[in-house]
Amino acid sequence: MNLNDILLAVDYIQHAPGGIALRGQTYLRTYPRILEVAALPGDGQARLLAAASFAYSWMPRILRLDPDHFEGAAEAVPDIVNAGDNWDADLLESLANCLHSVVGAAKVAHFLNPNSFPIWDSNVEGYRLPNNEIDQYHMQNLANYGAYSQEIGQIRAAQGFNDFAQAMVLAVGQRFDALQIPAYEIGPLRLIDLALWEIIANGAQQVAAGDV
């Protein structure tokens, strides 16, 4: 997966700025408030509980915290908050064990540090690996999330990304206007996430190497 695979998202959004399901509208509307609360000062336990509660409001599953791993997950929060781009997947092991979900851990980590941890689920993983079986075993493997994050980092570093990001900001701004959502700043990882979801919602396929 590379930058070419998400370029069409700009056109899709501009063509139908208000054309987004209610769930997607809710994600757009709640996202900045979630980041605000997740960034409030507090110890690891308080910040973990806040971020996890919000993360699972975006998921079909109910939040369950494994007491055997809760303390370890809370202790990892400062390292997650301060992580840079080249983090090791082991950093999220306690969090994933506490939630019994790598997908949940990815969302919690994103809310705590939206500049370093992308949101991840089976939909975007299926788009990234269209020829692979994306089952529960695959999604519970932290290494697969790490591989996804590396590809997102490559997209972010690609030539032409800044132009794409500027176009996405304008397109999403049109969507904010259409949905009467107050505008807010969107970081590069979230822009890529929004682009991927727009591509998936429109049924697009990955662009073959050399096609663009």
> Mind listing the pLDDT tens digit for each residue in 40-60?
999 999 999 999 999 999 999
Query: Percentage of the chain with pLDDT > 70?
Result: 96
Encoded tokens for 50: 């806040």
Q: Which of 141, 156, 154 is nearest to 89 (CA)?
A: 141
Residue-wise pLDDT tens digits, 130-152: 989 999 999 999 999 999 999 99
Average pLDDT over residues 66-89: 96
Look at the pTM and tell me if it is higher than 0.95.
no
CA torsion 171-174-178-179 (nearest 10°) is 70
Encoded tokens for 61: 């599953």
Please, are residues 160 and 1 in contact by the beta-carbon 8 Å criterion?
A: no
Query: Percentage of the chain with pLDDT > 90?
Result: 92
Residue 59 DSSP symbol? S
Residue 132 DSSP symbol? S
Segments making up each domain of the chain, as ranges: 3-201
Encoded tokens for 152: 């997102």
